[in-house]
Amino acid sequence: MSNERPDDDLETLFDADIDREPTPRSQRLKRQFDLYVVAPARVAMTDWRAVLGTAIIAMYVLMGTVGVWLVDRPTSGDAPTLVPPFQNPNYILGTDTFGQPIGAQLIHATPDMFRMVFAGAVVSIGFAALVGVLSGFLRGSKIDTILMSITDIIITIPGLPLVIVLIAIFQPGDPYVIGVLLGLDNWPGLARTVRSQVLSIREESYVEASQIMGISTGTILRRDVLAQLMPYITVNAALASRRIIFESVGLYFLGILPFTTLNWGVMMNIAYEGNALSKPSMYHFLAFPLLTIFLMSFGLVLFSQGMDSVFNVRLRARHSSTIDDDGGPEP
């Protein structure tokens, strides 16, 4: 499925009447699929971090979708209180002080967690990409100065106290709103990274070439700049998600967010307030939520680390079947 050789290309370039057969749509789709889905997946398979990270995240997604459907929502008094784990097959992870199975609680907390993470990641990544690309591309202009001043101000304000004040004022219960609030203090750091990336991409010769060819700024941004930024955006989306999980669970744990939903942090709060640390009979009540949070962020960190290698262009070219394997493009 190899394309024309380079000298064919040259000939067509100098050929006055280009009478080339346009690549059929299905072929183009196939090629794009190979480039953007198959090759990255192949690279990912070679990186144990990406594989393990994806597997862990997939497990949580299953927990939040199929798991919720399979396991009944727990209510108080479902079971005897404080059953130790791994004893009764009905509640493998044991039960808490109210007689709610811990496993079921963990599972039913997952969908709201995902809603929060989704809203927060979208807000922080979206803001960061928008501000970073815009001010990087308009470097030195008024807009750049203003955007970067705002970014620096928000970087400086410690996020958690600000979020706490906002929560105190608005008392949000909806997971999407909480996610957005947590995402708000998350974007400036990434916006700065994106900006400096844009600055260095702008200097690349292919961007200059596009500009000389008279391609519109919008197209250059989309095709040359944004494509190069995707690695950073994906890696940072995973890290932003981890941060939002940390912060939201932390706030639930402190009891600052209203206990309107099941959440791992709420469970930790109840266990911790009940002095679980000094009562061996309650260890599992605190330990399993802790483990759940750790595992999920472990998955996200591994995923982001693995993605770094997936987005390495040369590595990807080597694994793609629709690109000639002669070293790939020079970066």
Stretch that binds other proteins, among 14-22, 114-122, 157-165, 316-324 (CB under 8 A): 157-165
Does residue number 116 form part of the binding site for other proteins (CB under 8 A)? no
DSSP secondary structure code for residue 280 in this structure: G
Place of tokens 């809203």: 119
Does residue number 286 form part of the binding site for other proteins (CB under 8 A)? yes
Q: Nearest distance from residue 163's CB to other proteins, in Å? A: 9
Does residue number 131 form part of the binding site for other proteins (CB under 8 A)? no
Does residue number 316 form part of the binding site for other proteins (CB under 8 A)? no
Q: What residues from 186 to 215 belong to the interface with other proteins (CB under 8 A)?
A: 188-189, 192-193, 195-196, 199
Distances (CA, A) of 89 to 83, 85, 93: 11, 9, 9
Q: How many helices (H) and strands (E) does the chain have?
A: 16, 0
Q: Nearest distance from residue 129's CB to other proteins, in Å? A: 17
Distances (CA, A) of 263 to 58, 110, 141, 218: 19, 8, 46, 43
Does residue number 149 form part of the binding site for other proteins (CB under 8 A)? yes
Does residue number 138 form part of the binding site for other proteins (CB under 8 A)? no
Does residue number 284 form part of the binding site for other proteins (CB under 8 A)? no
- Rounded Cα–Cα distance for residues 136 and 114 (Å): 31
Does residue number 253 form part of the binding site for other proteins (CB under 8 A)? yes
Does residue number 184 form part of the binding site for other proteins (CB under 8 A)? no
Does residue number 156 form part of the binding site for other proteins (CB under 8 A)? yes
Q: What residues from 24 to 53 belong to the interface with other proteins (CB under 8 A)?
A: 49
- Rounded Cα–Cα distance for residues 77 and 79 (Å): 5
Stretch that binds other proteins, among 35-43, 67-75, 286-294, 319-327 (CB under 8 A): 286-294
Q: Are 84 and 101 in contact (CB under 8 A)?
A: no
Q: Are 50 and 310 in contact (CB under 8 A)?
A: yes
Question: Which has the closest alpha carbon to 180: 248, 227, 131, 246?
Answer: 248
Angle at 161 between CA 155 and CA 167, to 5 degrees: 115
Question: Mask: binding to other proteins, 69-108, rule CB under 8 A, as x and -?
Answer: ----------------------------------------
Task: Write the burial class of residue 60 (CB in 10 Å: 0-12 exposed, 13-18 middle, 19+ buried).
Answer: buried
**Residues at the site binding other proteins, with contacts judged by CB under 8 A:** 49, 149, 152-153, 155-162, 164-166, 168-169, 188-189, 192-193, 195-196, 199, 242, 246, 249-250, 253-254, 256, 272, 277-278, 286, 290, 293-294, 297-298, 300-302, 305
